[in-house]
Chains A and B, each alone.
Chain A
Amino acid sequence: MADTTSDPSRRTIERYTPNERTNHWTVAIVFILTALSGLALFHPALYWLSGLLGGGTWTRILHPFLGVLMAICFALLAATMWKFNRMERRDWQWLRQGRDVLNNREANAPEVGRYNGGQKLLFFVFVLCVLGLLLSGLVIWRQYFSLYFSVGVVRAAAVVHAICAFVMICAIVVHIYAAFWVKGSIAAMTRGTVTPGWAWKHHRAWFREKIHATHSRTRSD
């Protein structure tokens, strides 16, 4: 059976507005640049990544500015998505049935709203990591801020920064793979739309909300 989500004529449900998509991909691009430049300093085995931004010194100069830009863009995105990411009881049950989900048997798990339990957890991991990266990053930003902190604080911040970066990068790898794995998700973020079948299959509670909203509106017209 062929996947139906790539057929544009079927993709009638809007999932992301153009503004949301722009915001998401800005964060994505800036994140990649920040993460790769950070990894260049993380371990000698990856120092070659410093070539990406024009060498070690340019990496040192640009990485923190990119990081701050990313944190600002991420804050905007998180603010628009916050209300959809509150954990509910069904999300915990959904997570408990992770094995079913991972084996493409998600029909056994409870219905999912706009986001599933995994996406919501990931959302909060991102929020915490970006906050941790921003605060610790400012402390280890030698050119402007480190002089305001004692050496003990700078040392601790370096550890916090490395830990948050590690968790964040792993979480992003999961995020990217999940988007690829669930066919139709990438189109949702690139073109903004999904097919009714996709919404039915992966986010049934959200699908119901959507059609009820449209049809109660048409009826009252």
Chain B
Amino acid sequence: MALQSLDIVRRSATTTHPPTVRKAQTGTVAKLIDTTKCIGCKACQVACMEWNDLRDEIGTNVGGYQNPHDLTDQSWTLMRFAEYENPARGGDLEWLIRKDGCMHCADPGCLKACPAPGAIVQYANGIVDFQEENCIGCGYCIAGCPFNIPRISQRDHKAYKCTLCSDRVAVGLEPACIKSCPTGALVWGTKEDMHQHAAERVEDLKSRGFDQAGVYDPPGVGGTHVMYVLHHADQPELYNGLPEDPRISLSTRLWKGVTKPLALAGIALTALAGFFHFIRVGRNETHESDEQAAAQATERARHG
């Protein structure tokens, strides 16, 4: 989705400054997903398909509500269902439903890992967007993402994920999923406003006995532009393995950090060492005296 181009704050595999003349003057955006209001109707999944013209394959029913079973190149958002028996409430069953999809990290691991210039960009408004025409299909973004989001299409071998409707947001519309939600579980606005709204929701939940209710905006990835309100903010793993403290993994940081330029310098220095060895010492030649010594040795061997 290359509608915006003047407000790119980060660009994959790019060492120079991307175009940043347009700023997010009114603040960055955020989608707030209130899991406590979600009824799992999947209107947002359908809206995503409609707006983005995606049609996943019809799979098989394995006796659950989750459908499809996982995110795919055609399903950029997915309601994940978890049944939780809450020991604090005498084993009451709680149906924890979480809308999964790209979190639009402030510090995106996918972008850090990507080797193709401009295949992943981050806009000033906070949206992390894949530019598939620059994608080479290596799948490094999958290794870089702490949330297991990007999916490679088996047809065109490009990586796909939620765009946060960057095309709609660019012209002042809200994302398609937000527009479709019948319960108000999905809310859209500036990140600041969403925090304010979330704080009210948390207060309300606490007054109803959800002591551990809270907002999920994990600092390990610099915060996210998709946030959750959770009844059990102390146990995000309950929600189908939402990571407790997501961060770009140590191996990804090692792999994509200062080690790379150092390695290039190492290769260049090795080559330079050779060049200067040649300049200072010169080539190791074989002379007539060596040939004579060899001839004498051969002679001795023949008569020896």
Which residues of A come within 8 Å of B, CB atoms?
1-5, 10, 40-47, 50, 55-57, 59-60, 102-104, 106, 140, 142-143, 146, 151-152, 154-156, 158-159, 162, 166, 169-170, 173-174, 176-177, 180-184, 195-202, 207-208, 211-212, 215
B278 part of interface (Cβ distance < 8 Å): yes
CB B299 to nearest CB in A, in angstroms, measures 10
CB pair A174 B274 closer than 8 Å: yes
- Name B283's contact: one of A50, A180, A195 (CB within 8 Å): A180
CB pair A143 B157 closer than 8 Å: yes
CB B264 to nearest CB in A, in angstroms, measures 6
CB pair B143 A60 closer than 8 Å: no
Q: Which residue of A10, A47, A197 has the most chain B CB atoms within 10 A of its CB atom?
A: A197
Report if A155-B283 is in contact (Cβ < 8 Å); known contacts: A173-B270, A195-B291: no
- Name A173's contact: one of B13, B271, B293 (CB within 8 Å): B271
Q: Please, which residues of chain A bring their CB within 8 A of the CB of B148?
A: 151
B88 part of interface (Cβ distance < 8 Å): no
CB A156 to nearest CB in B, in angstroms, measures 5
- Name A56's contact: one of B116, B143, B281, B285 (CB within 8 Å): B116
Q: Please, which residues of chain B bring their CB within 8 A of the CB of A173?
A: 267, 270-271, 274
CB pair B138 A156 closer than 8 Å: no
Q: Please, which residues of chain B bring their CB within 8 A of the CB of A60?
A: 136-138
- Name B297's contact: one of A152, A158, A159, A207 (CB within 8 Å): A207
CB pair B152 A142 closer than 8 Å: yes
Which residues of B come within 8 Å of A, CB atoms?
13-15, 115-117, 134, 136-140, 142-143, 148, 152, 157, 249, 251-252, 254-255, 259-261, 263-264, 266-267, 270-271, 274, 277-278, 281-295, 297-298, 301-302
Cα–Cα, bound, A125→B102 (Å): 42
In the complex, 9 of the A-B residue pairs with CB atoms within 8 angstroms, ordered by the A residue number, are A1-B285, A3-B286, A43-B264, A56-B136, A162-B263, A184-B286, A199-B294, A202-B284, A212-B301
CB pair B260 A42 closer than 8 Å: yes
Q: Which residue of A46, A158, A198, A202 has the most chain B CB atoms within 10 A of its CB atom?
A: A158
CB pair B278 A155 closer than 8 Å: no
CB pair B285 A183 closer than 8 Å: yes
CB pair A162 B117 closer than 8 Å: no
CB pair A197 B255 closer than 8 Å: no
Given A151-B142, A155-B251, 16 other A-B residues pairs in contact with their CB atoms under 8 A: A2-B288, A41-B138, A44-B115, A142-B152, A143-B157, A158-B143, A159-B254, A162-B263, A177-B271, A180-B283, A182-B284, A200-B290, A200-B291, A202-B284, A207-B294, A215-B301
CB pair A57 B136 closer than 8 Å: yes
CB pair A166 B266 closer than 8 Å: yes
Question: Smallest CB-CB separation from B152: which chain A residue?
Answer: A142
Q: Please, which residues of chain B bring their CB within 8 A of the CB of A104?
A: 281-282, 284
CB A97 to nearest CB in B, in angstroms, measures 14
- Name B115's contact: one of A41, A143, A170 (CB within 8 Å): A41
Report if A211-B301 is in contact (Cβ < 8 Å); known contacts: A47-B115, A142-B142: yes
CB pair A198 B266 closer than 8 Å: no
Question: Smallest CB-CB separation from A173: which chain B residue?
Answer: B270
CB B212 to nearest CB in A, in angstroms, measures 28
CB pair B298 A211 closer than 8 Å: yes
- Name A5's contact: one of B15, B271, B286, B298 (CB within 8 Å): B286
Question: Smallest CB-CB separation from A57: which chain B residue?
Answer: B136
